[in-house]
């Protein structure tokens, strides 16, 4: 029931019986063609309800149409609260059909439930929708997942998702307004409806995701992310995917599958927003877990890796994650990379073939549980990737990496497009304390690394 209808259904306690009867005539279509109104005090609290039967009984004893309606109200009335379970509501309907007021904690009316229009499905639709999408780490194959890379050949990336997340919360509104709040950016935005969205700020990715889904009606949407964009963990893709996940939950039988969501997330970032990059982030974050993602001109296929639990635990025990340098514009770096040394097929083909070979070797090492060999291969992949473009690394990244290797790290790589972000290192626990202390002196920060196997998760909770 909308706010205008609720306003009509509420009458002040000093209104005369005559005026209340006139109001009942106009509100009958709202209340199952029954005379039924809520009587409120000066603070808007419900003092009672009144029906046409209550008025007839009052007039039979005191035939005064100018008396205040307060004389006729029923103070012992049936009502429910806004968070009442459906089984409670049904039992109250058994005793008091057809109209039941919904009151807030201060006994102010907020809705009226009419039996013929009450739907358990409708009440379930008033729930909060949340979608959580993890960050990803790319072990090998990064920089080979753009459309041009696999136009005439096959490429692949080896990825995993970790325990850093972007969570989006959606709450439907009774109007068409769209309200966006980013907790980590401390930014908010509001529009009258979908067509009124205006681009030009740091929330444009969120707006683009909303436009791509074309939702009906208004909603409040809130984003909270552990993943700073531009740090090599697929942060922007996690934001887009989590927004799409929430909105997709509104589509019922028409909801998109994971592959379709990944494709739509790519469209939002790479095509609608013109952010350069490949396809791996969208697929890795949405599917989740350890994956082998293959790219070809015909298709993109995600193959989950069935790793032994002790392999995953040993990886967590040996991998270290460090925040190095500032966030960077990965799209800009990738644009530069593709406009310089890798611009011709003749130059790029040896790199693509070599990287695919390394990626296959790393996948084989993981599947067989050869984690030490995996650490050695990380170093080979990093050395190969650094040859792709001068902005892949930076003096600080090189200093951190070389220092860690001199202490005992087997290998590692900078995650993402290059220059700064997160540095992944593989080192035995016997060297980790010394590596951590040495790198902290260079101004970097170590982050806990644990793997996540769930990918995108969407759920509903009561308001």
Q: pLDDT tens digits, residue range 245-255?
A: 999 999 988 99
Contact, 114 vs 9, CB < 8 A? no
B/e letters for 217-246, b = 16+ CB within 10 Å, e = fewer, are ebbbbbbbbbbbbbbbbbbbbbbbbbbbbb
pLDDT of residue 356: 92
Better pLDDT: 334 or 260: 260
pLDDT of residue 124: 52
Query: Which tokens belong to 384?
Result: 């190969």
Q: If you average pLDDT over residues 62-84, what whole number do you get?
A: 90
- Residue 125 confidence (pLDDT) above 70: no
Report the topology of domain 309-450.
Answer: Alpha-Beta Plaits (3.30.70)
- Residue 193 confidence (pLDDT) above 90: yes
pLDDT of residue 303: 97
pLDDT of residue 126: 66
pLDDT of residue 329: 45
- Residue 118 confidence (pLDDT) above 70: yes
pLDDT of residue 263: 97
Q: If you average pLDDT over residues 62-81, what whole number do you get?
A: 92
Residue range 10-64, pLDDT digits in tens: 999 999 999 999 999 988 888 877 789 999 999 999 999 999 999 999 999 989 9
Residue range 276-332, pLDDT digits in tens: 899 999 999 999 999 999 999 999 999 999 999 999 999 999 999 999 976 654 444
Query: Which tokens belong to 244?
Result: 């799409």
Out of 164-168, 353-357, 416-420, the most confident range is 164-168
pLDDT of residue 97: 64
* In CATH, 128-305+453-461 is 3.30.230.10: yes
pLDDT of residue 240: 97
- Going from N- to C-terminal start, the domains of the chain cover 3-124, 128-305+453-461, 309-450
Domain 3-124: CATH class, spelled out = alpha beta
The one catalytic residue in 111, 145, 281, 379 is 281
Query: Shortest CA distance to 282 belongs to which of 334, 333, 243, 325?
Result: 243
Q: If you average pLDDT over residues 353-375, what whole number do you get?
A: 95
CA torsion angle 276 282 283 287 (round to 10): 170
Average pLDDT value over all residues in the chain: 90
Does 309-450 match 3-124 at the fold level?
A: no
Residues of the chain above pLDDT 70, percent: 92
| Number of Cα atoms under 13 Å in the Cβ half of residue 92 | 18
pLDDT of residue 232: 86
Under the banding of pLDDT at 50, 70 and 90, the label for residue 267 is very high
Residues of the chain above pLDDT 90, percent: 72
Better pLDDT: 358 or 342: 358
SS3 annotation, the chain: CCHHHHHHHEEECCCEHHHHHHHHHHHCCCCCCCCEEEEECCCCCEEEEEEHHHHHHHHHHCCCCCCEHHHCCECCCCCEECCCCHHHHHHHHHHCCCEEEEECCCCCEEEEEEHHHCCHHHHHCCCEEEEEEEEEEEEECCCCCCCCCCCCCCEEEEEEEEEEEEEEEEEECCCCCEEEEECCCCEEEEECCHHHCCCCCCCHHHHHHHHHHCCCCCEEEEEEECCCCCCCCCHHHHHHHHHHHHHHHHHHHHCCCHHHHHHHHHHHHHHHCCCCCCCHHHHHHHHCCCEEEEECCCCEEEEECCCCHHHHHHHHHHEEEEEECCCCCHHHHHHHHHHCCCCCHHHHHHHHHHHHHHHHHHHHHHHCCCHHHHHHHHHHHHHHHHCCCCCCCCHHHHHHHHHHHHHCCCEEEECCCCCCEEEEEECCHHHHHHHHHHHHCCCCEEECCCEECCCCEEEEECC
Contact, 124 vs 262, CB < 8 A? no
Q: If you average pLDDT over residues 421-447, what whole number do you get?
A: 96
- Residue 359 confidence (pLDDT) above 60: yes
- Residue 396 confidence (pLDDT) above 70: yes
- Residue 450 confidence (pLDDT) above 70: yes
pLDDT of residue 215: 95
pLDDT of residue 30: 85
Cα–chain center distance at 115: 35
Is residue 226 part of the annotated active site? The answer reads: no
| Burial of 279: CB neighbours in 10 Å, binned 0-12, 13-18, 19+ | buried
pLDDT of residue 360: 96
Out of 89-98, 142-151, 207-216, 415-424, the most confident range is 207-216
Q: Which residues contact 462 (CB under 8 A, 6 or more apart)?
A: 83, 127, 128
CA torsion angle 146 149 153 157 (round to 10): -50
Q: What is the Cα–Cα distance from 122 to 4, expressed in whole angstroms?
A: 20
């Amino acid at each position: 029931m909308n706010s205008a209808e609720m306003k009509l259904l509420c009458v002040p306690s000093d209104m005369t019986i005559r005026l209340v009867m006139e109001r009942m005539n106009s509100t009958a279509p709202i209340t199952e063609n029954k005379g039924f109104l809520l009587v409120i005090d000066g603070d808007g609290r419900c003092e009672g309800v009144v029906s046409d039967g209550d008025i007839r009984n009052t007039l039979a004893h005191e035939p005064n149409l100018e008396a205040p309606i307060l004389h006729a109200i029923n103070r012992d009335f049936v009502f429910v609260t806004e968070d009442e379970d459906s089984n409670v509501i049904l039992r109250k309907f058994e005793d008091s059909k057809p109209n039941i007021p919904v009151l807030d904690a201060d006994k102010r009316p907020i809705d009226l439930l009419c039996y013929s229009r009450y739907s358990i499905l409708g009440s379930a639709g008033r729930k909060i929708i949340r979608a959580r999408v993890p960050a990803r780490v790319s072990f090998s194959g990064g920089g080979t997942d753009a459309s041009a890379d696999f136009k005439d050949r096959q490429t692949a990336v080896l990825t995993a998702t970790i325990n850093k997340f972007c969570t989006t919360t959606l709450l439907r509104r009774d109007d068409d307004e769209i309200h966006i709040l980013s907790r980590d950016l401390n930014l908010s935005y509001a529009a009258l409806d979908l067509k009124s969205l205006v681009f030009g700020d740091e929330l444009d990715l969120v707006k683009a995701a909303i436009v791509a889904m074309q939702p009906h009606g208004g909603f409040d949407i809130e984003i909270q992310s552990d993943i700073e964009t531009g740090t090599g963990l697929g942060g922007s893709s996690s934001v887009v995917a989590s927004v799409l996940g929430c909105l997709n939950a509104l589509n019922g039988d028409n909801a998109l599958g994971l592959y379709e969501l990944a494709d739509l997330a790519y469209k939002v970032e790479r095509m609608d927003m013109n952010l350069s990059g490949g396809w791996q982030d969208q697929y890795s974050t949405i599917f989740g877990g350890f994956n082998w993602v293959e790219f070809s001109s015909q298709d993109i296929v995600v193959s989950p890796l069935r790793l032994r639990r002790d392999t995953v635990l040993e990886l967590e025990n040996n991998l270290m994650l460090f925040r190095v340098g500032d966030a960077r514009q990965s799209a800009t770096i990738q644009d530069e990379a593709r406009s310089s040394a890798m611009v011709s097929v003749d130059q790029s083909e040896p790199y693509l073939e070599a990287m695919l070979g390394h990626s296959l070797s790393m996948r084989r090492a993981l599947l067989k549980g050869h984690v030490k060999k995996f650490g050695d291969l990380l170093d080979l992949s990093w050395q190969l990737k650094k040859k792709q473009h001068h902005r892949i690394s930076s003096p600080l990244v090189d200093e951190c990496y070389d220092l860690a290797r001199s202490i005992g790290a087997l290998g590692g790589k900078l995650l993402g497009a290059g220059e700064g972000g997160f540095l992944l290192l593989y080192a035995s626990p016997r060297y980790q304390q010394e590596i951590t202390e040495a790198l902290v002196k260079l101004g970097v920060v170590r982050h806990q690394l644990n793997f996540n196997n769930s990918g995108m998760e969407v759920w509903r909770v009561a308001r």
